[in-house]
Amino acid sequence: MGWDINRRIRERFSRVRQEFYEHKPLFILYVVIRLLVLITMALEIQNQAWYNVFLCVITLVLLLIPSFVERRIRIDIPDVLEAAMLIFIFAAEILGELQEYYLAFPYWDTMLHTVNGFLCAAIGLALIDILNNSPRFSISLSPVFVALSAFCFSMTIGVIWEFLEYGMDVLFATDAQKDTIVTSISSVLLNPDGHNLAITVPVESVVINGEEWLFGGYVDIGLIDTIHDLMVNFIGATLFSVFGYFYVKNKGEGGIVAHLMLTKMQDEPKEPE
Band (255; pLDDT cuts 50, 70, 90): confident
Say which residue, 23 or 6, is predicted with more confidence: 23
Torsion of CA 46, 49, 55, 59, to 10 degrees: -10
Q: Containing H/E element for 92?
A: none
Could you report the per-residue pLDDT of 133-180, keeping only the tens digit for each? 777 765 678 889 999 999 999 999 999 999 999 998 999 888 888 888
Please give the pLDDT value at position 59.
95
Least confident of 11-25, 119-133, 213-227: 11-25
* 8 A C-beta contact, residue 163 and residue 184: no
**What is the C-alpha radius of gyration for the chain, rounded to an integer number of angstroms?**
24
Nearest to 118 by CA among 69, 66, 65, 81: 81
Lowest mean pLDDT among 88-97, 99-108, 246-255: 246-255
pLDDT of res. 267: 57
What pLDDT sits at residue 217? Answer: 84
Closest by CA to 264, choosing from 128, 67, 71, 130, is 130
Note the helical H segments in the chain: 2-22, 24-46, 50-63, 65-72, 79-90, 101-104, 108-132, 143-172, 223-249
Among the ranges given (39-48, 103-112, 155-164, 177-186), the one the predictor scored with the smallest mean pLDDT: 177-186
Instruction: Compute the residue count for the chain.
Output: 273
pTM of the model: 0.85
Helices (H), 201-261: 223-249
CA distances from 27 to 17, 37, 61, 265 (A): 11, 16, 17, 20
The least confident of 32-41, 49-58, 76-85, 206-215 is 206-215
Indicate the pLDDT class of residue 187, thresholds 50, 70 and 90: very high
Q: What is the pLDDT of residue 86?
A: 94
Q: How far apart are CA 67 and CA 160, in angstroms?
A: 23
pLDDT at 18: 65
| Exposure string over 44-56, b if 16+ CB within 10 A, otherwise e | beeeeeeebbebb
